[in-house]
Amino acid sequence: MSFAVIGVAVTVLPGGLGPAVVGTVNGHRCSLPEGSLNVTDLPAGRSVMACEAVGRVVSFGGAGLTVPEPGMGVSVDGLAVSGGPEHFQLEVSADGFITYPGQYETRKAVESATSLKSSDPNACADAAYSIYDYVERDAYVWHIGDGGMPGALSRSAAQIAFLDAINNITDSYNDCGLTDDVSVSQRYSGTTSYEGDYARGSLTCTERDKVSTWDAGDLNSNVLAGACVWYAIVDGVPADVIEADVRYNTADFDFTNNPRRETCKNKYDMRAVGTHEAGHIFGLAHVSDGHSDLTMYTNSFICNAKARTLGKGDVLGLRRKY
């Protein structure tokens, strides 16, 4: 990795003063504790070079991110079944300074809803949306990873379900009569021996492997599925998604491809969950409590396929971005 060379390089100070000690870059001094870091260990404004922070994990709430190289950002979202959703995002500017865009300072616990709330607006009447500042400019090219699939599906059956879920976003699929006005697309690119870049048992994005992968595994026990999205920061325009990995938590939850069946019990619809995760890939964020009929609501519901079909706010969010 080329950046590692920069990260440990001995810096020559201006004026020929000679090599500085490692841990000081352009006057920024930093020393980090061992092990997992939190946001107070590595506050916004720190130099990842001075702190030798690239490759280190920073945690917030129930989520973690591995600090990427300069010019990159990474965002993680967890779809919860109880308690608040997890979101955490960090960026490293081209000159190496860390920032935490968006929500972590203002993150609020949302009321946990285990079923659609009848007091909330109907999906076609609810214009709420929230968006990130990254976009998927090119087709989202993705693979199916190693190992088991949600719903114990074969990889080929899972491919069809994932493809359908992502298409729900790229086609603005809705039953509100809203036209598909956004030109985003996807392309399935085969199976891979790579896995989604998640730490075992945790909603923590590891270093990216440059292959966008959908797979199944173990996440935090309250998180149904996660989306790790990496993007390149581009001057003057929204950041550009370069990789996105979706993982279903099959260690703690059961999924189904047939949620409407009478026999469905305690299972989550893999296409509804996948549609929500694909929303994150194309830059949609969660909507707050009170919008439980929208795909980008923070929780998913047992044996419920509703989130496969976008609501008004979901479509408006995509139109706003693309």
Strand stretches in 39-121, DSSP E: 57-60, 63-66, 72-80, 86-92, 98-99
**Structure token pair of residue 310:** 């976008």
Residue closer to Zn ion, measured from CB, 75 or 206: 75
Residue closer to Zn ion, measured from CB, 69 or 77: 77
Tokens 């979706």 identify what position? Answer: 246
* Alpha-carbon separation of residue 196 from 59, 180, 186, 212, 216 (angstroms): 18, 30, 18, 7, 8
- CA 284, CA 66: separation in Å to the nearest integer? 22
Site for Zn ion, rule CB under 5 A: 77, 79
Instruction: Provide the minimum distance between the beta carbon of 147 and Zn ion in the complex, in angstroms, as a whole number.
Output: 22
Whether 83 contacts 223, CB under 8 Å: no
Instruction: Provide the minimum distance between the beta carbon of 286 and Zn ion in the complex, in angstroms, as a whole number.
Output: 5
Instruction: Provide the minimum distance between the beta carbon of 89 and Zn ion in the complex, in angstroms, as a whole number.
Output: 13
Instruction: Provide the minimum distance between the beta carbon of 25 and Zn ion in the complex, in angstroms, as a whole number.
Output: 36
DSSP string across 10-61: PPBPTTT--BPPTTEETTEE--PPSS-EETTTS-TT-BTTTTT-TT-EEEET
- Phi and psi angles of residue 223, each rounded to the nearest 5 degrees, phi first: -110, 120
Residue closer to Zn ion, measured from CB, 42 or 79: 79
Cα 177 off chain centre by:
29
Instruction: Provide the minimum distance between the beta carbon of 279 and Zn ion in the complex, in angstroms, as a whole number.
Output: 7
Residue closer to Zn ion, measured from CB, 65 or 98: 65
- CA 214, CA 312: separation in Å to the nearest integer? 27
Three-state SS at 271: helix
Residue closer to Zn ion, measured from CB, 48 or 79: 79
Instruction: Provide the minimum distance between the beta carbon of 73 and Zn ion in the complex, in angstroms, as a whole number.
Output: 17
Residue closer to Zn ion, measured from CB, 77 or 197: 77
Residue closer to Zn ion, measured from CB, 47 or 295: 295
Instruction: Provide the minimum distance between the beta carbon of 124 and Zn ion in the complex, in angstroms, as a whole number.
Output: 21
